[in-house]
Chains A and B, each alone.
Chain A
Amino acid sequence: MKLRRWLFSILLLLSLPVLAHKASDSYLVLDIKGREVSGQWDIALRDIDFALGLDRDGNGEITWGELSARHGDIAAWALGSLSVRRGGDCKLEVADHLVDSHTDGAYAVLRLAGSCPAGGGDLQLDYRLLFDLDALHRGLLRLGLDGTTQTAVLSPQRAQQKFAAGEVSRLEQFGQYLVEGIWHIWIGFDHILFLLSLLLPAVLVHEARRWRGVADFHQALVEVLWVVTAFTVAHSITLSLAALGLISLPSRLVESAIAASVVLAAANNLKPLVEHRRWMVAFGFGLIHGFGFASVLAELGLPQETLVMSLLGFNLGVEIGQLAIVAAFLPVAYALRATLFYRRVVFVGGSLATLTIALIWFVERAFDLKLISA
């Protein structure tokens, strides 16, 4: 072999991770309800051409005519490299041939239909498409099994996979995101401080420029419910919008705005501007906090295919964490509401402390400084 090749090779290693185009993927969507199977399989025309040869006239172009002439061969080849088992081999057939385009070119779309011997139990899948020709090929599977959605990447190393039927896996995934949601609100001091700043005055009323305790628990509870509900509704909206990719804001802006919201909420306790409609404040700033939750969710890597379920779990987790805070806070605050200790130390002192911390956060986040945190 020639010297040039080795040199060329070193160049390549040191070069950027060249991926250009895209490695070969097929997109397999299977929906199995009981015995009945339906689905869709998108396979790149380039891959089909490499395996079967589609370009009959050799002009480098694949036309619909060239493709449709080989539909029978393509169906046999594809179905021959996929087996689905539920209580035995499921019989699959290609019900229709269409085309579609993905980021890297045109794909043949095979509409699948079929039936399995059993209407329940685990599902076994064996995927071998193209593996003998292209070891980097991957089958990206989205499987709906009796209403629960699961995803998997099928590779030569993991060509055979088993999927559990029933609620377990869906519940597990849901539960996992639920716990993440709870965990996040507990470690997210900015969210807790914001909420507390709005809750601190809930057991008080501001009259004649003085604070005094509310008359009954019902009054405090209603106020808390309004605030918490408004906050929840607002951050659920933006969390969903951001998680679904409909809106995205730079994280620095979001984090700074969250800090600013805590500053304003605490300041409002010290010098009230908004007294009766605190739920509106909760709603307005809740929109910002939702973006903050979304960035955590993005970090966790939301599974695209079970997006809604995971989103719901995460959101619910955040609510549970929030309610736990409220449940711990409200009885104590209510009991102490009439004391000077609550009004001076907890309310004024707490708001002042919150204001200070949040101001530092704001400066750190907005101007990229490190003041207190390591």
Chain B
Amino acid sequence: MVPTVNGAPRKPLDDTEVLERLPSRAGDASSRELAAMRAAMTSAAGNPAPAAELAQRYFDLAMARGDPRYVGYAEAVVARFPDPLPASLRLIRGLLRQYRHDFEGALGDFAAALAQDPGLAAAHAWRGAIYLVQADYPAAQGECDALRRLGRSTLVGACLGLVQAYGGQLETGNRTLQQALANTTDPGSRLWLLTRLGEVAAWRGQAEQAERHYREALATGVEDGYLLAAWGDFLLDSGRPAEVLKQLAGWEASDSLLLRLAEAEAALKLPGAARLAKMLDDRFAAARQRGDTTHRAEEARYQLRLRGDAWYALRLAAENYKVQREPRDARILLEAAIAAGDPAAAQAARDWLGKSGFEDARLRRLGQESALAVRR
């Protein structure tokens, strides 16, 4: 990463040589809009409303394009205002903190924002999402209830459906999400619900149903990294790596999708697999250099499945599980522990399986296999 080690600085000879392509043209609609919003923020010094709008816009862009620079832009906008922040900016700061996995800080911001503005449904939705990641389902349920009191029916369905699914009631969760889907026409909401329905169906072992949901989600035409990752995982789990390559072609810029591409190439024993693995390696190295620890779950998967280093994968997965405890986090922890011959290290994931009653057959099998190994 350090320029004098790897780099070869040069001086181009031709003035017309294109060095870089920007993510958006200066003249296109979104950058015109962003420029106008920035100008509005600058001219309204001290007024938080345009700043909150711009920061939210940056954050949405970061998510849609999978580009963390926009997160930094949003954070810089929020940082222009001194504490105590107004509710709107406080909410966004919480959102940015959860992005960095500072869940405690984020919960503090959401609580403070709600104290200032009890009708802030978004703060409840985000808190629910954080509690879900932390596997604190009673607390998440509390947020769903709060959303219900605020009358946000689609949000309630999304929130509740996941609490049920993660908490050991896949079928009920499925129904709740289906109901929410039937009641909304918004493409973004539909995409989200269909994606989660696909995951739920896959956990229930209903591969055809899952595929129908994913395909319907893809048909909304909204580009979405999470959907593509979930669909890619489904295809990999179903032994269909060739389709992953087709579906995710050209998405190397996203680390999550690059991981799926690399796994697919490796499964097909294609010569390009090594190149993709090297790219991933570079990305993880770059993140480490910044002191960034938010991708440990993905790095664990990379180490386990592509490098075959189960022990290192286990260390990463265990570190990750201290912070994030979603089904996929439990899965990589169990897989790495079994592969490393250290099933005791996955006790936390087995505890979660036991306590939540999560019903995915694959995870339950991994849990049992590792539990047996511990007893032996």
Query: A-side interface residues toward B, CB under 8 Å?
Result: 1, 3-25, 27, 29, 40, 42, 45-47, 49-50, 53, 55, 58-65, 67-68, 96-107, 109, 111, 131-138, 140, 142, 153, 156, 248, 250-252, 295, 298-299, 301, 304-305, 364-365, 368-370, 374
Contact = CB atoms under 8 A, between A and B. Distances in A.
Contacts of A305: 2
Interface residues of A: mostly helix, strand, loop or mixed? mixed
Interface stretch (B187-195, B242-250, B268-276): B187-195
Interface of B: 1-5, 7-12, 14-28, 56, 60, 62-63, 65-69, 71-73, 75-76, 78-79, 95, 98, 101, 121-122, 125-126, 128-130, 132-133, 152, 154-155, 158-159, 162, 186, 188-189, 192, 195, 224-226, 229, 253-257, 279, 282-283, 286-292, 294-295, 297-298, 307-312, 315, 326, 339-344, 373, 376
B interface: dominant SS: helix
B137 to A, nearest CB: 14
Nearest to B73: A134
B72 A24 contact: yes
B186 A11 contact: no
Contact of A7 (B132, B189, B255): B189
A3 B186 contact: yes
Given A9-B126, A19-B287, A370 B19 contact: no
Contact of A250 (B189, B225, B307): B307
A66 to B, nearest CB: 8
Considering the complex of A and B, which 7 residue pairs feature the smallest CB-CB distances, nearest first?
A20-B66, A136-B72, A65-B15, A135-B75, A60-B25, A134-B72, A58-B26
14 contacts: A15-B229, A16-B256, A19-B295, A21-B68, A55-B25, A58-B25, A61-B18, A61-B21, A137-B72, A156-B79, A304-B2, A368-B339, A368-B341, A370-B376
A42 B188 contact: no
A13 B186 CA distance: 19
Given A4-B189, A6-B155, A22-B68, 14 more contacts: A3-B152, A6-B122, A9-B95, A9-B122, A16-B298, A19-B292, A23-B69, A24-B69, A45-B20, A64-B14, A134-B75, A250-B308, A304-B1, A368-B339
Contacts of A49: 20, 22
A68 B14 CA distance: 11
B189 A3 contact: yes
